Amino acid sequence: MSLKILIVEDQFIEANDLKLILEGAGHEVCGIAKSYDHALLHIEQVRPHIVLLDIFLKGKLTGLDLAVLLSKENIPFIYLSANSNQAVLEEAKLTRPYGFLVKPFRERDVLVALDIAEYKHRHQAALFNKQEGLLMTILASILGEQSGTREKLVKLARAFKTFIPFDFIFIDTDADSSDNNSLFSLKRIGFDEYETHDCRKVELEFQLDQNEYRQWRSVNSSHQQIILENSEELELSCKKDAFLNMLIERSGAKSRIIVPLIAESGYRMSIRFYSKESDMYTLDHRELLLPIRSLLAMVIDNIGHSGLLINNNSNDETHRFATKIPNINSIIGNSPKLLRALDQAVQVANFDMTVLILGETGVGKEGLVQAIHQLSGRAKRPLVKINCAAIPAMLIESELFGHEKGSFTGAYERRLGKFEQAQGGTIFLDEIGELPLEVQTKLLRVLQEKELERIGGRVTIKIDVRVIAATNRNLQKDVIDGRFRMDLFYRLNVFPILLSPLRERKEDIPLLTTYFLEQHAALSGSEPKKLTTAVMQRLMNYSWPGNIRELQHTIERNVVLSPSNVISRIDLPEDVIALEAPEDLQQGNFRTIEEVDRDHIIAALKKCNGRVSGKGGAAEILNLPATTLNSKMKKLGIAWKYIY
C-alpha cells in the first residue's frame, strides 16, 4: 500500500536519506519540514497518512509539541531519535507514538516501522469507531427508558466503564442551581457493582462550606472544552479549589475528566470522572467523548427530570446495584488495576484483533484469556493453549504449524499444529517471548497472511484464528537486544492488557484468600476455615513473588496443616516479608523487584542443593511449576555458579 508521508526533520542529509528509502519502496513523500510551523503548513495543504517526526526541531516548539497536534488530528506518527536521554524518551512515550526509529536509519527498519504504524492505526480506528457507535446506541436507549434516576445512573456508568475508566462519578444536572438535589454521585465498588449516593450524604460527610461547594460544582462558562487533569494538573486545581482538595485527599483520586454540557434549555450541566490511577486519562478519551457530547447532554438532562434520587420507601441514602457477568466471575478482586484489565478484556472480546497480555508469572493471565474467548463470538469454537517456554526449540515449529508424514526423523504420521486445531476459535500463545527467532519469522507470516504451511508440506492452508499472546518478559527490551523481532512485537501489541502483580493490588488478597478457603472447603465437603487477623495481616505484608498462584498454594497447604477451623499460624519465606523495612531499605538502598526475585530463587536453590524439580526441589518450595522456575532462572541469568 502506497502511503503519503511527511518528514519533519531539520537535518537535510538524514531527511533526504529517508526520502530516497520511502520513494524507492513506492511511497509518496508529500513534504520535508524543518520546524513546527513549517510542518503545520504541509499538514494543512496535504493531510499525510503518517508523519516521521524528529523529537528535536529548529525553533521554540519541538517534535513533542507537534505530536500533541497530530494526536488531536488522528494522524499517526513515528519518532526519529538520536542520543535522546531517558527523560526525553519517557516524555515522548506519553504522546503515544506509533513507533521509534533510531538514527542512523536502516531501510528495513524504516519500512517495517511504516507497515506496523499503518496496521496499528487502521485497527485502532476500527476499534474507536465501534466504541463510539456502541456508546451512542446505549445512550439513546437510556434516553428512551421510563426507569428511575438510580437505574439510569447505573446504566450510564455501565455504558462508560469499559471506555472511560473511573472509580467514581459526579453528575450535575444543573450546575447553576443552589438545589443540591440536582447533584448525583456514583461509586464503583466491583467489576459491575455500584453505589449511588444522595447529595445530602456528600454534604454531611464533608461538612461543606457552601461557597466552596458551589465553586466546585460550577463549570466555568469560559471553558467549555473537555478538561483532562492527570497528576500534576489535578494537583494545581486542588490548590485553587478547597472542596476539590478535600475530595481528592479523602477519595485517593489522582486523575479526572470534566465534561461540561449544555441542556437544550440553556442551563449548564457536567459529568466528572475520577480515577485513583495516575495519568489515567488520555486524548483518546477526550476524542471519544466529543462526538457523543450532545446526546450525553440530553441523557443527563433526562436523568435530572426522571424523579428524585432518594427512594421514598427507604431511609438508606446509599443504594447498591450489582449484576453477574458470565465468564468474568471466576476472576476474583476489585482493585482498580484489576478492574481496568477486566474492562479492557470485555472491550476487546468482540473484536478479532490480536491481544497481548503482559504480567508476571502467576498473576492470572490464563483466566483473562478464557474470559476474552468466552465473551467473544468464537466462544463455541476451540480455545487452544500452548506454553512456548515448555516445548524444546526443535519441536515448537511442529507444535504450532504441524508437519507432514516423513518430513523429519520421527515424523511417522501427519500432525495438525495448534493453529489448525484452533481453526475458527482462539489460540493462546503463553510465554511468547521464549519463541526462537526463526519461529518468530514464521509466526509473523501467519499473522500477516492468515495462512501457513506444515513442515514438509507444499499446500498453503488458510486459517481463521484469533491470537492472544502473553509474556512475563519486557518485549521492548528484547527487541532492542535483538532477541525478539520488532515487526512481530508491534503485530502482537495492537491491544496490550497489563495484569499488575499481587503486591500492587493487595486489596485483592482478602477476597482471593476467602475464595481459596471456600473452594477447598467445597472440594473436601467441610466448612470453610478462617484466618486470624494477625495471619491476614501477614499475608498482606508479604510481597508474593509467585503472585496469585503462590497465594493459592500457600492457603491450600496451610488449610491441610491447620488442626482447627481457625488458621492462627501460616508459613511464609521470612526473607521477603515486609513487616518491617530492612536496614538497607531504611537507608534508601532500594533493590529492584528483579534483584529481590533473583536472590530469593538463588536462596531456594542453595537450600535444595541446586535441585530444581521433583520432591524437595526449589520449584516445590517456591510453589512454582518447574518449567516456570526454569524460565525465571533463564530470564534472571541464574547459572550454576551462583548456587555453589
456-495 pLDDT, tens digit per residue, is 888 899 999 999 999 999 887 888 778 898 788 888 988 8
CATH code of 501-579, in short, is 1.10.8.60
The label of the residue with cell 531527511 reads 15
The per-residue DSSP string of 470-490 comes to: EESS-HHHHHHTTSS-HHHHH
Do 420 and 434 form a contact (C-beta atoms < 8 A)? no
The per-residue DSSP string of 251-305 comes to: H---EEEEEEEE-TTS-EEEEEEEESSTT---HHHHHHHGGGHHHHHHHHHHHHT
- Mean pLDDT in residue range 420-449: 93
Give the range with max mean pLDDT: 68-72, 575-579, 640-644.
Answer: 68-72
CATH code of 336-500, in short, is 3.40.50.300
**Whole-angstrom distance, CA of residue 414 vs CA of residue 31:** 54
- Mean pLDDT in residue range 261-282: 88
382: preceding bond cis by omega (within 30 degrees): no
- State what percent of residues in the chain have pLDDT above 70: 86
DSSP E strand boundaries for 34-108: 50-54, 77-81, 100-102
- State what percent of residues in the chain have pLDDT above 90: 34
Three cell numbers written together for 146: 421510563
- In the predicted model, is pLDDT for residue 44 greater than 50? yes
The label of the residue with cell 438545589 reads 179
CATH superfamily of 4-119: Response regulator (3.40.50.2300)
Q: What is the pLDDT of residue 554?
A: 92
Domains 4-119 and 336-500 share a fold: yes
**Whole-angstrom distance, CA of residue 183 vs CA of residue 270:** 10
**Whole-angstrom distance, CA of residue 67 vs CA of residue 69:** 5
- In the predicted model, is pLDDT for residue 12 greater than 70? yes
Q: Which of 125-134, 245-254, 591-600 is predicted least confidently?
A: 591-600
CATH code of 144-317, in short, is 3.30.450.40
- In the predicted model, is pLDDT for residue 68 greater than 50? yes
DSSP state letter for 455: B
Q: What is the pLDDT of residue 40?
A: 92
CA-to-CA separations, 506 to 97, 249, 397, 559, in angstroms, rounded: 32, 20, 39, 21
Residue 350's pLDDT band (cuts 50, 70, 90): confident
Q: Which of 150-154, 254-258, 377-381, 478-482 is predicted least confidently?
A: 478-482
**Whole-angstrom distance, CA of residue 445 vs CA of residue 278:** 38
For residue 247, the SS3 value is helix
**Whole-angstrom distance, CA of residue 641 vs CA of residue 87:** 37
Which sign does the torsion angle of CA 34, 40, 44, 49 carry?
positive
**Whole-angstrom distance, CA of residue 196 vs CA of residue 177:** 21
Do 428 and 384 form a contact (C-beta atoms < 8 A)? yes
Which region, left, alpha or beta, applies to residue 83 given φ > 0 means left and ψ of -120 to 50 means alpha? left
Q: What is the pLDDT of residue 221?
A: 45
Q: What is the pLDDT of residue 41?
A: 92
Give the range with max mean pLDDT: 149-163, 387-401, 498-512.
Answer: 498-512
CATH 2.20.28 assigned to domain 585-644? The reply is no
- Mean pLDDT in residue range 431-454: 91
Residue 580's pLDDT band (cuts 50, 70, 90): very low
Do 541 and 507 form a contact (C-beta atoms < 8 A)? no
For 139, other C-beta atoms within 10 Å of its C-beta total 21
**Whole-angstrom distance, CA of residue 337 vs CA of residue 109:** 35
Across all residues in the chain, what is the average pLDDT? 83
- Mean pLDDT in residue range 13-28: 92
Q: What is the pLDDT of residue 430?
A: 95
Q: CB-based burial of residue 5 (10 Å sphere; 0-12 exposed, 13-18 middle, 19+ buried)?
A: buried
Domain residue spans of the chain: 4-119, 144-317, 336-500, 501-579, 585-644
Q: What is the pLDDT of residue 179?
A: 65
Three cell numbers written together for 52: 516521521
- Mean pLDDT in residue range 334-354: 88
**More confident of the two residues 446 and 81:** 446
- In the predicted model, is pLDDT for residue 500 greater than 70? yes
Q: What is the pLDDT of residue 643?
A: 37
- In the predicted model, is pLDDT for residue 169 greater than 80? yes
Q: Which residues, 6 or more positions from 503, have their beta carbon under 8 angstroms from its beta carbon?
A: 543, 544
Q: What is the pLDDT of residue 309?
A: 44
Write down the H helix ranges in 432-546: 437-449, 475-480, 486-492, 509-524, 533-541
3-state helix, strand, coil in the chain (%, to 5): 45, 15, 35
Three cell numbers written together for 527: 466448612
**Closest-CA residue to 499 (of 371, 340, 334):** 340
Q: What is the pLDDT of residue 319?
A: 53
**More confident of the two residues 320 and 295:** 295
Q: What is the pLDDT of residue 585?
A: 47
**Closest-CA residue to 66 (of 37, 106, 100):** 37
Q: What is the pLDDT of residue 271?
A: 92
Residue 428's pLDDT band (cuts 50, 70, 90): very high
What pLDDT digit, counting tens, does each position of 353-369 carry?
899 999 999 999 999 99
Residue 204's pLDDT band (cuts 50, 70, 90): very low
Q: What is the pLDDT of residue 85?
A: 62
Angle between helices 437-449 and 393-401 (to 10 degrees): 10
pTM: 0.70
